[in-house]
Structure 1
């Protein structure tokens, strides 16, 4: 009887520890994002859209893409090979969503 109570107690403690570890991993994923450490999308999109003829549209699209992919290609145009997720997002019409 004493062994079964000890076994049940240790099982409950193990489940509690497992739950705490899982919660810690989830919090760190929210901090870092699924694609690594979070980047500052605002600054990255300002750099990306600085030469755009439609800066408000560019910032809005870039911000959405950056939040989804957690990356923005360097420069003001192109360099999509540096951020595959960013390059892969498309509109309903099949055009690139991200500037």
Structure 2
């Protein structure tokens, strides 16, 4: 019974989290081409603010933003809101954009 309650709470948390992310995306208009080039610096500064290698993060974030004109919200994750940013890969197949 305790496992069922825990599962219900976790599912509710997941649904609330997904709804909040979608609401944030609608409010800030995320998606490929949603930014103007001059907005990349500010969005990447926020995106890379907690990165261990801030300079490296900024380099790749600015490169990705210039191509995709989109930077996901927050300092980590949420890449599904910017498909171009999310799908651009390195030669080895890893993520290009932070």
The 1:85–1:95 alpha-carbon spacing in structure 2 relative to 1, beyond 3 Å, is same
Unaligned runs of 5+ residues in structure 1 are: 1-33
* Larger Rg computed on CA atoms: 1
Matching residue of 2:33: 35
Matching residue of 1:91: 90
Name the TM-score, length of structure 1 as normaliser: 0.63
Q: Using the TM superposition, give the Cα deviation of residue 36 of structure 1 relative to its aligned residue in structure 2, in angstroms.
A: 4.8
Please tell me whether the aligned partners of residues 34 and 70 of structure 2 are also in contact (alpha carbons under 8 angstroms): no
Indicate the RMSD between aligned Cα atoms, in angstroms.
1.5
**Structure 1 segments (4+ residues) deviating >2 Å:** 34-37
Q: How does 1:1-99 map to 2 (within 5 A)?
A: 35-36=33-34, 38-39=36-37, 40-99=39-98
Unaligned runs of 5+ residues in structure 2 are: 1-31
The 1:43–1:37 alpha-carbon spacing in structure 2 relative to 1, beyond 3 Å, is closer
Higher RCO (C-alpha 8 Å, min separation 6): 2
Name the TM-score, length of structure 2 as normaliser: 0.63
